[in-house]
Amino acid sequence: MARVDPYKNFRFLLEIDGITQAGFADCSGFGSKVEVVEYREGGDAPTVRKLPGKNSYPDITLKWGITDSRELYDWHLTAVNGKVERKNGSIILLDDGGQEKVRWNFFTAWPSSYDAPDFSAKGNDVAIDSLILSCERLERV
């Protein structure tokens, strides 16, 4: 049986409805969780049953080197101004040849937080913008 190496975490793309932002430095925080509800029935021994509760999805954090593109910031600005625009998107993991291997689709996301870059006259790092997307569902396909 041939050995299959795991995919590298730096080869990924993001697709968001109507936004063509180029490369991202980081994409983190996506996943899902089912709350555990503990319940003890009256006639049972002191054993606690664990039942499934509500589903939740953590916020997705995006970081990228700042450029002239304002699409993501402007999307956040519409939320700041009271008009939340929800969009669907995908986080796509690529293999070494650039072919899609794994896709996570997120749904009804909106930008809940924006952080501008930190500046330092003593450094030579790339200026990084950061955006947090709050989504209502995520699926690996």
DSSP 9: T
Q: What is the DSSP string of 15-40?
A: EETTB-----SEEE----EEEEEEE-
**How high is the pLDDT of residue 57?**
97
- Does the pLDDT of residue 22 top 90, yes or no? no
Q: How far apart (Å, rounded) are the C-alpha atoms in residues 98 and 127?
A: 26
pLDDT digits (tens, 9 = 90+) for 62-114: 999 999 989 999 999 999 999 999 999 999 999 999 899 999 999 999 999 99
Read off the pLDDT of residues 24-64 as tens digits, 9 standing for 90 and up.
899 999 999 999 999 988 776 788 889 999 999 999 999 99
pLDDT on residue 5: 85
Q: Which CATH class is domain 12-140?
A: mainly beta
What is the three-class DSSP state of 76? helix
